Amino acid sequence: MISDSSLSVSKGSGKAAVTEAKKRRLRPSFLILLLSVGIIAGILLFVTTGAADIRLHTVIEALLHYNESQVQHYTVMAVRLPRALTAVIVGACFAISGAIMQGMTRNPLASPSLLGVSSGARFGIVLAFAFYPQLSYHQMIGVSFLGAALGTLTVYGIGVLASYKAAQHYSHVKLALAGAAVSALLASLSEGIQIYFGIAQEVMYWYAAGIAGVKWIDVLSVLPWAIAGILLALIISKNINLLGLGDEVAAGLGQRVKRVKLFGALTVFALTGAAVAVAGPIGFIGLIIPHLTRFLIGVDYRWVIPCSGLFGGWLLLTADTVARLVNPPQETPVGIITALLGVPFFLYLARKDGKANL
């Protein structure tokens, strides 16, 4: 026999499902299709435009019948195409990392660039260049992974101590301020190490927050880490939905909260570490994209994570295209473009102090 309380819960759940469906502006499958088409179109635009425009049929010819002796074929295959693919991969890594962090912590200000993950990864890379320059690319990514963990643990260690008042109310803004302070400290240490050891030239490309100069070896090196991180993010996406109900409720539903958070943290470290190792600490993608994705399709992380990945890849690809074309033949660091979008968005979220819909 069904009790009145069970009926109430059932009705409440039904109303919540209807409300959630109404909040969706787009179907998730349609957004995936739209973003996939946008990425393909963006790559074609990227490889055909630049200091020297290349016709589309030349691009197709280079893909099907590559001739290294032809300058335009070489430009497409060795310069522009790996850079475009790297932009998509790196953007996806940052966006998925931000989505995981916001979902697990229920903090709308959480992102790799704001909570010490990117700056920690950069610090690890600088240390590797200074003391172990002979490390392979995969080993550099591993060091970046450890640096990301160091930065994040430092921020949360400081932020948690500073964010609890007598009534035990958690302040997302104070955690963000702790992240800004730790990020500034790690950035200063990184710059000091570069100057002291004279390694600024070696880390110039990624330190300037850009992906100029990447080669196929960079794409092939970061791709396994990105694929592994994305797959793990998809696996834990359902668990992140439960964490959104609160740790106590999730534990009551049989969720192993600590284990899920551990896997989530490892996923963030792997994705951010790999992205920073190849492209530098590009900011704000991990902050903006998850919010826009949830606004469009709702808060089901089984859809938020893949859509955020595609959205982030498209955004960074578009930003890098703009960075190449805004002042030709000179290039503007893509980090400037993402900052122009991200800073106003961050200020908007900071004013809300955690009231964003997660």
Give the rounded percent of residues in the chain with a pLDDT score beyond 70: 85
Tell me the mean pLDDT in the region 96-111: 89
Find the range with the poorest average confidence among 17-26, 111-120, 264-273, 307-316: 17-26
pLDDT at site 44: 95
Distances (CA, A) of 252 to 11, 73, 166, 247, 345: 21, 59, 27, 9, 35
> Is residue 1 domain-resident?
no
> Is residue 120 domain-resident?
yes
pLDDT at site 105: 83
> Is residue 46 domain-resident?
yes
> Is residue 2 domain-resident?
no
Higher-scoring residue by pLDDT: 325, 203: 325
CA 97-103-107 angle, to 5 degrees, is: 100
**What is the chain's mean pLDDT, rounded?**
83
> Is residue 173 domain-resident?
yes
* pLDDT tens digits, one per residue of 278-308: 888 888 899 999 999 999 999 999 999 999 9
Tally of domains in the chain:
1
* pLDDT tens digits, one per residue of 218-250: 898 889 999 999 999 999 999 999 888 877 888
Higher-scoring residue by pLDDT: 9, 92: 92
Over 80: is that where the pLDDT of 128 sits?
yes
Domain span holding position 266: 28-352
* pLDDT tens digits, one per residue of 175-224: 777 888 888 999 899 989 988 888 887 776 555 546 877 889 889 888 99
Over 80: is that where the pLDDT of 11 sits?
no
Higher-scoring residue by pLDDT: 248, 9: 248
* pLDDT tens digits, one per residue of 151-161: 888 888 776 66
For the domain that residue 260 is a member of, what is the CATH number? Answer: 1.10.3470.10
> Is residue 13 domain-resident?
no
pTM: 0.84
* pLDDT tens digits, one per residue of 36-82: 999 999 999 999 998 788 999 999 999 999 998 899 999 999 999 99
Over 70: is that where the pLDDT of 89 sits?
yes
> Is residue 83 domain-resident?
yes
pLDDT at site 207: 55
